[in-house]
Amino acid sequence: MVGAGPSSLAAAVYTAREDIETLLLEKSVIGGLAAITDKVDNYPGFSQGIEGLKLAEQLQAQAERFGAKIDFAEVLGVSDEGEYRIVKTDGGDIKTRAVLIATGSDYKKIGVPGEAEYYGKGVHYCATCDGAFYRDKRLVVIGGGNSAVQEALFLTRFATHIDLLVRSSIKASEVLQHDLQAAVDKGKITVHLETHTGEIVAENGRVTKVTGTKDGVKTEFMTDGVFIFVGLLPNTHFLEGSGVDLDEVGLIKTDEKLRTSLPGVFASGDVRSGATMQIASAVGEGATAALNIREFLENKKPTLYS
């Protein structure tokens, strides 16, 4: 399984529990984006919500309890060699009968000057990791979707004030918009709609302001740091030339059994074209993929007389 986010961890619970030898390869963080999310409020079964990191730890422990193995490795490619699939990694090739790709997505960069230069030094993509460095400071958060609003709300624990820069309009869920309004009413967050980010500016190596434009007029936001949540980029670059078909935005195309265009290679979760980008859906797809993988392996299993 490529990736160790909620989808493949859920799949691993099913496959490992059925004694299918299961290896998950993760290059970043076990639990994926869920693990770096402050609070998951809409995952069924947790009436008060659950911290993303705790949910990830539970999923991991459950998969490992049934014997799934998780290794640190970056997958560089997948190919079909007839009876087997070859998964090429930075630690060598792995020969396997079936592959599940559940690599999810990463937060997109906005590509403005200063973003790359001050990454980790005033520019951040993980509020739960880096928010604590901004106690009693001012912050800018860029984005208007669920992640941006949720993480901006999380950051109000630390920051004195947050300017939320939104390119068009707020696209977060009603519940989050309600919470955002409460933070706006308390003076913790100011929302700037129709505001395009221009540059992240630093003085003496410290981020001091963000420039932007609204209605063609240049504006400036004084800040100590910037958190960016402007959408997701599918982790599928390693599939280039593999024969796994992608859609126009780079998500993996699958059929109703979550099979990709490459035999024996399945996909589930946020990386799949048509995914709803919800942890509950990713977990459900993981379970579906696991059952379809089992079926695929049973059909592949050599019989005594074959």
Partner 1 sequence: MAKNITVYTTNTCAYCAMVKRYLDTKGHAYKVVNLDEYPDQRQKVIEMSGAQTVPVTVIENAGSDAPNITVGWNPGKLAAALAA
Point out which span in 15-23, 131-139, 142-150, 163-171 binds partner 1 (CB under 8 A).
Answer: 131-139
Sequence-distant (≥ 6) Cβ neighbours of residue 236 within 8 angstroms: 101, 103, 244, 246, 250, 251, 252, 271
Report which of 100, 99, 72, 74 is spatially closest to residue 88, judged by C-alpha positions.
74
**By CB under 8 A, is residue 41 in contact with partner 1?**
no
Show contacts with partner 1 in window 66-95 (CB under 8 A).
72
**By CB under 8 A, is residue 52 in contact with partner 1?**
yes
Instruction: Round to whole Å and give the CA distance between 262 and 253.
Output: 10
For residue 238, the minimal CB distance to partner 1 (Å) is 17
**By CB under 8 A, is residue 58 in contact with partner 1?**
no
For residue 248, the minimal CB distance to partner 1 (Å) is 31
Beta carbon nearer to partner 1, 135 or 237:
135
Among 133, 181, 194, 263, interactor with partner 1 by CB under 8 A: 133
Q: Output phi, psi for 125, to 5 deg.
A: -125, 5
For residue 74, the minimal CB distance to partner 1 (Å) is 9
Instruction: Round to whole Å and give the CA distance between 120 and 206.
Output: 11
**By CB under 8 A, is residue 51 in contact with partner 1?**
yes
Instruction: Round to whole Å and give the CA distance between 299 and 3.
Output: 25
Among 135, 178, 237, 300, interactor with partner 1 by CB under 8 A: 135
Among 18, 41, 57, 64, interactor with partner 1 by CB under 8 A: 57
Please say whether the beta carbons of 50 and 37 come within 8 A. no
Point out which span in 51-59, 213-221, 288-296, 298-306 binds partner 1 (CB under 8 A).
Answer: 51-59
Q: How big is the chain, counted in residues? A: 306
Beta carbon nearer to partner 1, 1 or 139:
139
**By CB under 8 A, is residue 126 in contact with partner 1?**
yes
Among 130, 138, 167, 196, interactor with partner 1 by CB under 8 A: 130
**By CB under 8 A, is residue 40 in contact with partner 1?**
no
Alpha helices in the chain (DSSP H): 6-17, 32-35, 52-65, 127-130, 146-155, 174-185, 279-300
Point out which span in 115-123, 142-150, 167-175, 273-281 binds partner 1 (CB under 8 A).
Answer: 115-123
DSSP code at position 303:
P
Instruction: Round to whole Å and give the CA distance between 22 and 96.
Output: 10
285 vs 14, 156, 177, 248, 269, CA distance in Å? 12, 34, 28, 21, 6
**By CB under 8 A, is residue 38 in contact with partner 1?**
yes
**By CB under 8 A, is residue 3 in contact with partner 1?**
no
Pairing status of strand 265-267 against strand 99-101: parallel
**By CB under 8 A, is residue 122 in contact with partner 1?**
yes
Residues that bind partner 1 (CB under 8 A): 28-31, 35-36, 38, 51-53, 56-57, 72, 120-122, 124, 126, 128-135, 205, 225
